Amino acid sequence: MKSLGQCLYCSSPAHSLEHVLPAAFGEFTGAPNLENRICDECNNKRLGVLDEQLARCGPEGFFRRWYGIEGRAYHDKVNPFYRGSAGARRQEFSAFDPVWGVEVNLEIENGQARQLRELIFVESSGKTHHLPIRQDTTAERLLQAFKNLGMVQPFETRLSCDPEERAWVEPILRQAWPAAEFGEGTPGSKVFEGVIGKVELNARYFRAFAKVGFHYFLTQFHCYTGHESLFSRLRQFISEDVTGPVSRVNEFIGVRQHPLLGEMLNPNACPDGWRAHLVCAEVIPAGCFAHVQMFLTEDWPAPTYTIRLAVGSEVVDPRASGHIYRYYPDGLRGRFSGEAESLRSTRTNVDAPPPAPAVASAGE
> How many residues does the structure list for the chain?
364
In this prediction the pTM is 0.88
Q: From CA 364, how far away is CA 199, in angstroms rounded?
A: 34
Nearest to 337 by CA among 275, 272, 278: 275
CB within 8 Å of 216: residues ≥ 6 apart: 20, 32, 279, 280, 281, 290, 292, 323
| Rounded alpha-carbon distances, angstroms, from residue 325 to 31, 57, 208, 215 | 8, 21, 17, 15
Residues 34 and 18: beta-carbon distance below 8 Å:
yes
Q: From CA 198, how far away is CA 193, in angstroms rounded?
A: 16
Please report which helix (H) or strand (E) contains residue 166, including its range. helix 166-176
Packed helices 59-67 and 48-56: angle between N→C axes, nearest 10 degrees: 70
Helices first, then strands: H and E counts in the chain: 8, 17
**pLDDT at residue 107, rounded to an integer:** 93
DSSP 31-63: --EEESSS-HHIIIIITHHHHHHHHHTSHHHHH
Helical segments of 186-337, H only: 203-220, 232-239, 246-250
Q: Any bridge partners for residue 103, and if so which?
A: 96
Q: From CA 134, how far away is CA 101, in angstroms rounded?
A: 24
Q: What are the residue ranges spanned by the domains of the chain?
A: 17-70+201-360, 92-198
Please report which helix (H) or strand (E) contains residue 319, including its range. strand 319-327
Q: From CA 229, how far away is CA 227, in angstroms rounded?
A: 6
Q: Are strands 304-311 and 319-327 parallel, antiparallel or unpaired?
A: unpaired
Nearest to 121 by CA among 180, 76, 166: 180
Per-residue model confidence as pLDDT tens digits over 38-65: 999 999 888 999 999 999 988 999 999 9
Q: From CA 142, how far away is CA 131, in angstroms rounded?
A: 8
**pLDDT at residue 355, rounded to an integer:** 32
| Rounded alpha-carbon distances, angstroms, from residue 348 to 157, 258, 259, 285, 290 | 59, 10, 10, 17, 17
Q: From CA 170, how far away is CA 322, in angstroms rounded?
A: 53
Q: From CA 103, how far away is CA 37, in angstroms rounded?
A: 49
Nearest to 110 by CA among 52, 145, 154, 69: 69
**pLDDT at residue 206, rounded to an integer:** 95
What pLDDT tens digit does each residue of the chain (364 aa) get?
Answer: 345 689 999 999 998 899 999 999 999 999 999 999 999 999 988 899 999 999 998 899 999 999 999 876 655 678 999 988 888 889 999 999 999 999 999 999 888 888 999 999 999 998 999 999 999 999 999 999 999 999 888 999 999 999 899 999 999 999 999 998 888 888 888 888 889 998 888 899 999 999 999 999 999 999 999 999 999 999 999 999 876 656 689 999 999 988 898 887 777 778 888 999 999 999 998 899 999 999 999 888 899 999 999 987 677 788 999 999 999 999 999 999 999 999 976 443 333 333 333 344 443 3
CB atoms within 10 A of CB 30: 12
